């Protein structure tokens, strides 16, 4: 299990980005009832590695939107979004 800073380091984003994605519901960490700390899994690392290039290209990821998949596929050929 990873803390906010551990997740940020492993996924290549800032702690602010981790907190943003948590607040927006894109990440759903476990929460320690005793101290309120969030704990993330390796699945969250993979998700952030996926979301980060999407965000850098000016897209807000909404899994419920109908055009999300089409726009995601378009990123594969968009050189502005290369990592």
Q: Where are the domains of the chain?
A: 4-81
CATH class of segment(s) 4-81 = mainly alpha
At 2-54, the pLDDT tens digits run 999 999 999 888 898 899 889 988 899 999 889 989 999 999 998 888 777 65
Long-range CB pairs of 34-43 (<8 Å, 24+ gap) are: 37/3, 38/3, 38/4, 39/1, 39/2, 39/3, 40/1, 40/2, 40/3, 40/4, 40/6, 40/7, 41/1, 41/2
At 51-83, the pLDDT tens digits run 776 555 655 555 555 555 566 666 556 565 554
pTM value surpassing 0.75: no
| Beta carbons of 6 and 13 less than 8 angstroms apart | no
């Amino acid at each position: 299990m990873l803390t906010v800073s551990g997740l940020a380091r492993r996924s290549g984003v800032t702690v602010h980005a981790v907190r943003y994605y948590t607040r927006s519901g894109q990440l759903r960490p476990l929460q320690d009832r005793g101290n309120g700390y969030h704990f993330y899994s390796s699945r969250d690392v993979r998700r952030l590695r996926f979301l980060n290039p999407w965000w850098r290209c000016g897209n807000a990821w909404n899994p419920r939107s109908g055009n999300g998949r089409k726009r995601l596929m378009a990123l594969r050929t968009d050189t502005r979004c290369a990592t």
